[in-house]
């Protein structure tokens, strides 16, 4: 089945550091990828939709200058948390649509647990 690889799985760093998270579709091409954030005991919250070759679409309340998204190829999207602070600590998960999306399931990466000290 479709596999999405997300790296790194865990990051612990000091406040003010920028952190890059990679999301790769290993055996399919993904025109559209999604970035979610999930706080403990809460549901997934969509941050942005990443489209290959164009600017990402951010959800309301998500700072695009804080969370930089680059989708440079059909198999890779990256999320960079710039100048991270403790309140950015969360579980970040990417997903990708197999095929043209719509009625196709989103396949999720394993997530990245970000802890800012």
Partner 1 sequence: GQNIDQPTEMTATEGAIVQINCTYQTSGFNGLFWYQQHAGEAPTFLSYNVLDGLEEKGRFSSFLSRSKGYSYLLLKELQMKDSASYLCAAVDSNYQLIWGAGTKLIIKP
CA 19 to each of CA 15, 22, 61, 91, 113: distance values in angstroms, whole numbers, following the listed order = 11, 10, 20, 13, 11
Q: Per rule CB under 8 A, is residue 66 in the interface with partner 1?
A: no
Shortest gap between Cβ of 64 and partner 1 (angstroms)?
Answer: 18
Shortest gap between Cβ of 92 and partner 1 (angstroms)?
Answer: 10
Q: Per rule CB under 8 A, is residue 63 in the interface with partner 1?
A: no
Residue from 29, 42, 73, 83 in contact with partner 1 (CB under 8 A)? 42
Residues 90-109 that bind partner 1 (CB under 8 A): 91, 93, 101-103, 105-109
**Cβ distance to partner 1 smaller for residue 63 or 110:** 110
Greatest Cα pair distance in the chain: 41
Q: Per rule CB under 8 A, is residue 43 in the interface with partner 1?
A: yes
* Residue 45 · residue 30 · CB < 8 Å: no
Q: Per rule CB under 8 A, is residue 31 in the interface with partner 1?
A: no
**Hey, how many other C-beta atoms are within 10 angstroms of the C-beta on 35?**
26
Shortest gap between Cβ of 61 and partner 1 (angstroms)?
Answer: 16
Alpha-carbon gap, residue 34 to 51, rounded angstroms:
9
- Which residues partner with 106 through β-bridges? 97
Alpha-carbon gap, residue 38 to 51, rounded angstroms:
21
**Residue ranges that bind partner 1, judged by CB under 8 A:** 6, 42-44, 46, 91, 93, 101-103, 105-111, 113
């Amino acid at each position: 089945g479709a596999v999405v690889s997300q790296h790194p799985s865990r990051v612990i760093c000091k406040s003010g550091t920028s952190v890059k998270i990679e999301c790769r579709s290993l055996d399919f091409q993904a025109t559209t990828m999604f970035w979610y954030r999930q706080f403990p005991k809460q549901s997934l919250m969509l941050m942005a939709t990443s489209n290959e070759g164009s600017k990402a679409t951010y959800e309301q309340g998500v700072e695009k200058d804080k969370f930089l998204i680059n989708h440079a190829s059909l198999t890779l999207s990256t999320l960079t948390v710039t100048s991270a602070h403790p309140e950015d600590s969360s579980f970040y998960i990417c997903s990708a649509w197999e095929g043209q999306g719509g009625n196709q399931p989103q396949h999720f990466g394993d997530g990245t647990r970000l802890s800012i000290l």
